[in-house]
Amino acid sequence: MSWFYEEWIRPVLFLQDSERVHDRTLKGLSRMAASATLCEAVRGWLDVPGLPVEAFGLRFPNPLGLAAGMDKGAVAVPVWEAMGFGFSELGGVTCHAQPGNPEPRMFRIPAEEALINRMGFNNPGAEVLGRRLEHWHRSGRWPGHPVGINLGKSKVTPLDRAAEDYAASFERLWGWADFFVVNVSSPNTPNLRQLQDRGALDEILAALQEVNGRLARGGVGKPILVKVAPDLSWEALDDVVSLVGPRRLAGLVATNTTLARPESADPVGRLVYRETGGLSGRPLRQRSTEVIRHLYRQSGGTVPIIGVGGITGVEDAWEKVLAGASLLQVYSGLVYRGPGLPLEIVSGLRDRLGGGRWTEAVGSGAARID
Ligand SMILES: Cc1cc2nc3c(=O)[nH]c(=O)nc-3n(C[C@H](O)[C@H](O)[C@H](O)COP(=O)(O)O)c2cc1C
């Protein structure tokens, strides 16, 4: 199926501007999402096998999820499950609606199977997203897999009021998702990455846990995870790990896009690499895996890690599992491999696992390789 997409569909899509293709695709998927029959047909056609995984109190039908940024406005919620994803992360959403950066702001480097984006959190805002999620819940079309929301900071909110901004989005959306990811690692909002500093992050997490405690009314709050940048130093990553216990973090997401630019043998690649923004896809794979391995070791394997960055096939996915990822996500891989990717990866992971246990595979290569 990926072969068909790569030979016949991708060349046509890649003739067009990458954000336009994304918008048209999402529009098509939102129409599909409105039809239960179509979603069932897609589910039956792709027929992704089960590979159940449990993490932070949630049950995932398989460990491969949709990464943040693909469905920022929650327009295609039931489709991701029909495509065979074991979970989806919607957003990034900010408290205030915002248009994002001027276009063009999304670029392909086909020879490297990479993307550069500087979207800048274009999204409809927490209020509108909340209403859309409510609609999916009430329409009976809410997916059976866990749904997370990626929370970003509104551009208009100054850094020293970031905690309030995140907390307001969290409070608005609390009832409508299974877990939340605090995104302090996007390179496209000025100074956002400073919020990965221990003090600033601690303040944000304290504010979120206050909301969590209040809304859960003595029950278990929603799992809160933090998404880190691949460009952090080991010491800065250790600072994030040190907050896991005190702020009851459910897990870490590693990683967001990188500001680094690798050497490229491709002349087009060298040109596009000059664009400002975050790089994702194949060139990110290795660094993302190193970060996962570091986080796994530093946390003693006690914190679930969602591994994301440069997964374009089962080899890359398995590498991240061995490094310590309990769950995985893709974005760029979907652009380059197409909708058959979940089937290919989940089937491949089942084969790799043989009859073995998922929990034993996770992190089993973390001690060996450096
Ligand atoms: C166009 C685009 C938009 C993105 N938007 C977000 C976002 O809103 N929040 C976030 O945490 N990550 C965002 N990401 C990062 C992805 O979730 C993911 O971490 C990154 O692309 C690495 O995975 P990949 O190599 O599979 O693409 C975005 C990525 C792309 C390409």
What pLDDT score does 368 carry?
A: 47
Q: Would the CB of 70 count as within 6 Å of ligand 1? A: no
Index of the ligand 1 atom closest to the CA of residue 68: 17
What pLDDT score does 218 carry?
A: 85
| CA dist., res. 31 & res. 33, Å (int) | 5
Q: Would the CB of 189 count as within 6 Å of ligand 1? A: no
All domains of the chain, ordered by start, with CATH?
2-353 (3.20.20.70)
| Minimum CA distance residue for ligand 1 atom 1 | 117
Question: How many Å lie between the centroid of ligand 1 and the Cα of residue 69?
Answer: 5
| Minimum CA distance residue for ligand 1 atom 9 | 92
| CA dist., res. 342 & res. 324, Å (int) | 20
Question: How many Å lie between the centroid of ligand 1 and the Cα of residue 331?
Answer: 6
Question: How many Å lie between the centroid of ligand 1 and the Cα of residue 66?
Answer: 10
186 is catalytic: yes
The H-or-E segment that residue 151 falls in is: strand 147-151
| CA dist., res. 308 & res. 189, Å (int) | 20
Q: Would the CB of 67 count as within 6 Å of ligand 1? A: yes
| Minimum CA distance residue for ligand 1 atom 23 | 309
Q: Residue 87 corresponds to which tokens in the numbers above?
A: 């979970």
What pLDDT score does 1 carry?
A: 76
| Minimum CA distance residue for ligand 1 atom 29 | 69
What pLDDT score does 367 carry?
A: 82
Q: Would the CB of 230 count as within 6 Å of ligand 1? A: no
Write down the catalytic residue from 2, 154, 185, 186: 186
Fill in the DSSP letter of residue 161: G
| CA dist., res. 97 & res. 175, Å (int) | 20
**Ligand 1 pocket mutation, candidates 71, 257, 288, criterion most atoms within 8 A of CB:** 257
| CA dist., res. 87 & res. 71, Å (int) | 13
Q: Would the CB of 148 count as within 6 Å of ligand 1? A: no
Q: Would the CB of 317 count as within 6 Å of ligand 1? A: no
What pLDDT score does 15 carry?
A: 97
Q: Would the CB of 106 count as within 6 Å of ligand 1? A: yes
Measured CA distances, 262 to 105, 114, 300 (Å): 20, 11, 31
Fill in the DSSP letter of residue 231: T
Q: Would the CB of 68 count as within 6 Å of ligand 1? A: yes
**Ligand 1 pocket mutation, candidates 108, 256, 311, criterion most atoms within 8 A of CB:** 256
Q: Residue 312 corresponds to which tokens in the numbers above?
A: 């374009």
Mean pLDDT by runs of 10 across the 370 residues of the chain is: 93 97 98 97 97 98 98 98 98 98 98 97 98 97 97 97 98 98 93 93 98 94 98 96 98 98 92 97 98 98 98 98 98 98 98 96 80
